[in-house]
Structure 1
Amino acid sequence: MNTILIIIKREYLVRVRKKSFIVMTILAPLLLAAFYGAIGWAAVGSISLKKVAIIDQSGQFVNKLKGDNETAFVYVNESPEQAKKQLVQKSYDALAIIPKDVIEQPKTVQIFSNKSVSLTLQSNIESAISKEIETIKLSRAGITQQVIKDAKVDVDAKTINLSDEGEKSTNSIITTAIGGLCGFLIYLSVFIYGAQVMRGVLEEKTNRVIEVIISSVKPFQLMMGKIVGVGLVGLTQFMLWILLTAGVVSAGTAIFGAKYAKDAAKARSMQMSAMPGQRDVQKKMEASKNPMAELSAAAKTLNIPLIAGCFLFYFLGGYLLYSSLFGAIGAAVDSETETQQFMLPITIPIIASIALAQFIIRDPDGPLAFWMSIVPLTSPIIMMVRIPFGVPVWEIALSMILLVGGFIGTTWLAARIYRVGILMYGKKPTYKELSKWIFYKA
């Protein structure tokens, strides 16, 4: 046991003392926040207002088409030929001609431009015309604008979970996001840190350092020490990432929360001097809630201790299960290029788990979700996707027991391959030879 602890300490300290570990641990949350912030800024900043000239030959759409922050409609009284010639001179992005019989034949609308019209611009023009045609037809049927306005209602339902502890408010968006994020983090950890174990074993083998180490340490002790040591490195890095991310999120919440509070105060101060047509807009501004506050309140409805505890267990369980197999692959081959033939069977369950997670989220209590959260090879990711939605205690317990059993089984299997393959050189192993190594008596 002391030997394993020494190996664990060595593997842990060697990795956490590296400058790359320190730099990536500190910068990763900041870089991630900056990356998504830059994408959001670029997405918003890249949207420019498109001017669309409208020739209404029917006379029923003048000053009725509603634009938005992407599209502005300008009505012209010129002939189609003159408007086409002046399309570039007047800086119009497109020219839409609405024929006289557009109500009966809506597909006769034509859109002209000097360049290919983007799908978004075409969709905005078609949507604006379609809505006005719908309004005209309803008006002809005797339905007034006020009736149409009153009929448009936005339903914002609250979801409440009925449990033995009573009624608890829930938020499906937060639940889905937390489940998907936890599953994705475990998916990344298995690949990143499992691959580190494989590369570490392969490096020691190719450098012939392993021959010296094996003279004083049993192969199983070396494998377990390396797996646990790298696992603790990953756990340390994840904990630091969580703390730093929480700090970044708290700062963002404070900044955006203050911004929304300022906007709400400004809307209230303007209410007394508002024109009648502006009051509806101000009411919507006042009724709108601070999204950061909503997210914070929704997160409090989740069972955070249960999610955190299960994440820690499935993070370690999934890592230990797969890293033992990655370590066996590193011991069986002589170069990293040879690992590809053995990586595929191991990575298929992981890839299938993350690929099917989107379907699990839609039906977290279905048979597919149940069986994939029970099978040890897929349970670390799928069970973490399900837990925020609420999973019976017996299912979580059964999944954990089977995951522990799966880890013990894969560790035994990997140790049998490891003890033989770690000293094998110059020959590319096959699946048949690996099966012989498992039952080889040394």
Structure 2
Amino acid sequence: MRNILLVIRREYLVRVKKKSFLIMTLLAPVLFVAFYATVIWVAIESVDTKTVQVLDESGLFSKEFKDTEALKFMYIASSIDSAKTGFKKSDANALVYIPADIIRDPKGVRIYAEKNVSMDLKSQIEKVIEKQIEDIKLSEAGITHKILEDSRVNVSSETISLSEEGEKTSSSGAATVIGGICAFLIYMSVFIYGTQVMRGITEEKTSRIVEVIISSVKPFQLMLGKIIGVALVGLTQFVLWILLSTALTSAASAVLSSKMPDNPAQMAQEMQSIQKGMPAQGMPGGNVENPVAEVLGAVNSLNIPLIVGCFLFYYLGGYLLYSALFGAIGAAVDNDADTQQFMLPITLPIIFSFVFAQLVLRDPDGTLAFWTSIIPFTSPIIMMVRIPFGVPAWEIALSMALLVLGFMGTTWLAARIYRVGILMYGKKVTYKELAKWIFYK
């Protein structure tokens, strides 16, 4: 045990003291926060008000185009030829021509511009015209304007979980996002830190340093110490990323909040109007909830302590299971080029897990979701996708137990290969040769 602790300490300190570790630990949160802060800042600062001239020969749309923060509509009364001539001399960004027979010929609308107009502007103009034509035709059919307004409703459902503890508000959107993020983090960590174990062993074997180390430490102790040491490095980096990202996000939010509109509901309404291509003032439904409060409420509806605890377990379990196999590959080959032939069987289950995760998000309680969250090679990623949606305790316990057994099995298998391969040089290793090493006494 003492030797294992010494190897863990060495692997941890050597990697933590590297400049690359310090740079990536500090730089990754900065780049992450800077990227999103830049996107938000550009979105706030780059809102240029565009002027749109409207020539409405039908006279049906005089009050339908509403001004927004990004768009100003200016009605003109002239012939189309005069309007086009005046448009060229003006600072307007677009000219919308609505013919007199728009009801009979809805495709007669024309949008003139010096350059091509954006899809958002084109869609917004078309939506307004379509809505007004629909209203006119329905009114002609005997349906009053009040009935039309009453018939337009926005349905927003609330999901509630029924459990032994009683009713509890849940959020499918938050569960999907949190589950996807956790799965992605485990997927990336297995690749990044697992390959670090493999390359570290390959480098020591190539430089013949391992011959000196093996004289004092058993091969199994060396392999296990390397695996756990790199795992602690990964956990340290994750914790620092979370702390730094939280601090930087708070600072960026304080800076950007001064540039945000005073009325968050109006901002949300404007954003919604841009997304839907409809003017904000003309949208049905009066109240717009604060999006920040809505997001916080969705996150609070989840069992955060359970998600964090399970994430740490499956992060460690998935890493330990795969890193043992990565370590066996590093011990079996003499250089990085030879690792490629053995990487495919190990990486395929990880890749399949990430692909299956997209399907599991659609049906977190299906047969595929159940079995892939139980099998040790896919459970670290798939189970983290399912947990935010709610998973029975016995399924979580069974999955964790099988993952522990899977780690013990892969560690035993890797140790059998490691003890022979770590001192094997100059020989091209095949799968048949690896099978022999497993059963050597």
* TM-score normalised to structure 1 length: 0.86
Q: Which residue of 2 aligns with 1:194?
A: 194
Please list the CA deviations of residues 69-128 of structure 1 after superposition, one character each: whole Å capped at 9, or x if unmatched: 444433333333343444443233333332333223323323333323333332222222
Q: Which residue of 2 aligns with 1:374?
A: 374
Please list the CA deviations of residues 199-237 of structure 1 after superposition, one character each: whole Å capped at 9, or x if unmatched: 211211222212222232222221111001000111122
1:131 CA displacement? 1.7
Contact 2:94–2:113, Cα closer than 8 Å, also in 1: yes
Q: Which residue of 2 aligns with 1:118?
A: 118
Question: Alignment length, in residue pairs?
Answer: 427
Q: Which amino acid aligns with 2:373?
A: S
Question: Relative to 1, partners in 2 of residues 1:322 and 1:260: Cα closer, same or farther, differing over 3 Å?
Answer: same
Question: Relative to 1, partners in 2 of residues 1:425 and 1:66: Cα closer, same or farther, differing over 3 Å?
Answer: farther
Alignment of 1:61-76 (within 5 A): 61-66=61-66, 68-76=68-76
Give, in whole Å, the separation in 1 of the partners of 2:289 and 2:379.
Answer: 38
Q: Which residue of 2 aligns with 1:35?
A: 35
Alignment of 1:81-120 (within 5 A): 81-120=81-120
Q: Which residue of 2 aligns with 1:276?
A: none
Q: Which residue of 1 aligns with 2:144?
A: 144
Alignment of 1:35-434 (within 5 A): 35-66=35-66, 68-248=68-248, 263=263, 288-434=288-434
Please list the CA deviations of residues 381-428 of structure 1 after superposition, one character each: whole Å capped at 9, or x if unmatched: 110111111101111111111111211222222223322332333444
My pick for the range that moved more, 242-251 or 167-176, is: 242-251
Give, in whole Å, the separation in 2 of the partners of 1:176 and 1:135.
Answer: 38
Give, in whole Å, the separation in 1 of the partners of 2:103 and 2:27.
Answer: 58
Please list the CA deviations of residues 255-281 of structure 1 after superposition, one character each: whole Å capped at 9, or x if unmatched: 889999974899xxxxxxxxxxxx999
Give, in whole Å, the separation in 1 of the partners of 2:184 and 2:138.
Answer: 49
Q: Which amino acid aligns with 1:397?
A: A
Give, in whole Å, the separation in 1 of the partners of 2:219 and 2:188.
Answer: 27
Question: Relative to 1, partners in 2 of residues 1:50 and 1:147: Cα closer, same or farther, differing over 3 Å?
Answer: same
Contact 1:63–1:75, Cα closer than 8 Å, also in 2: no
Give, in whole Å, the separation in 1 of the partners of 2:170 and 2:258.
Answer: 25
Question: Relative to 1, partners in 2 of residues 1:67 and 1:238: Cα closer, same or farther, differing over 3 Å?
Answer: same
Q: Which residue of 2 aligns with 1:435?
A: 435
1:152 CA displacement? 2.5
My pick for the range that moved more, 391-400 or 26-35, is: 26-35
Q: Which amino acid aligns with 1:227?
A: I
Q: Which amino acid aligns with 1:344?
A: L
Q: Partner of 1:92: helix, strand, or coil? A: coil
Q: Partner of 2:89: helix, strand, or coil? A: coil
Please list the CA deviations of residues 305-343 of structure 1 after superposition, one character each: whole Å capped at 9, or x if unmatched: 221221111010000011112112222333323333332
Give, in whole Å, the separation in 1 of the partners of 2:30 and 2:396.
Answer: 34
Question: Relative to 1, partners in 2 of residues 1:66 and 1:229: Cα closer, same or farther, differing over 3 Å?
Answer: same
Contact 1:330–1:339, Cα closer than 8 Å, also in 2: yes
Give, in whole Å, the separation in 1 of the partners of 2:95 and 2:428.
Answer: 67
Give, in whole Å, the separation in 1 of the partners of 2:207 and 2:303.
Answer: 49
Please list the CA deviations of residues 178-212 of structure 1 after superposition, one character each: whole Å capped at 9, or x if unmatched: 21221121112111211211121121122221222
Give, in whole Å, the separation in 2 of the partners of 1:386 and 1:318.
Answer: 16
* TM-score normalised to structure 2 length: 0.86
Q: Partner of 1:97: helix, strand, or coil? A: strand
Question: Relative to 1, partners in 2 of residues 1:180 and 1:116: Cα closer, same or farther, differing over 3 Å?
Answer: same
Contact 1:257–1:290, Cα closer than 8 Å, also in 2: no
Give, in whole Å, the separation in 2 of the partners of 1:11 and 1:425.
Answer: 24
Structure 1 gaps of 5+ residues are 267-278
Contact 2:52–2:92, Cα closer than 8 Å, also in 1: yes
Question: Relative to 1, partners in 2 of residues 1:165 and 1:31: Cα closer, same or farther, differing over 3 Å?
Answer: same
My pick for the range that moved more, 405-414 or 102-111, is: 102-111
Q: Partner of 2:334: helix, strand, or coil? A: coil
Question: Relative to 1, partners in 2 of residues 1:338 and 1:123: Cα closer, same or farther, differing over 3 Å?
Answer: farther
My pick for the range that moved more, 54-63 or 183-192, is: 54-63
Give, in whole Å, the separation in 2 of the partners of 1:92 and 1:104.
Answer: 29
Contact 1:332–1:418, Cα closer than 8 Å, also in 2: yes
Question: Relative to 1, partners in 2 of residues 1:66 and 1:334: Cα closer, same or farther, differing over 3 Å?
Answer: farther
Give, in whole Å, the separation in 2 of the partners of 1:264 and 1:403.
Answer: 46
Give, in whole Å, the separation in 2 of the partners of 1:111 and 1:86.
Answer: 15
Give, in whole Å, the separation in 1 of the partners of 2:391 and 2:148.
Answer: 44
Give, in whole Å, the separation in 2 of the partners of 1:265 and 1:36.
Answer: 21
Q: Which amino acid aligns with 1:41?
A: W
Give, in whole Å, the separation in 2 of the partners of 1:261 and 1:54.
Answer: 29
Question: Relative to 1, partners in 2 of residues 1:290 and 1:30: Cα closer, same or farther, differing over 3 Å?
Answer: farther
Q: Partner of 1:73: helix, strand, or coil? A: strand
Paired-residue identity, %: 61
Contact 2:44–2:259, Cα closer than 8 Å, also in 1: no
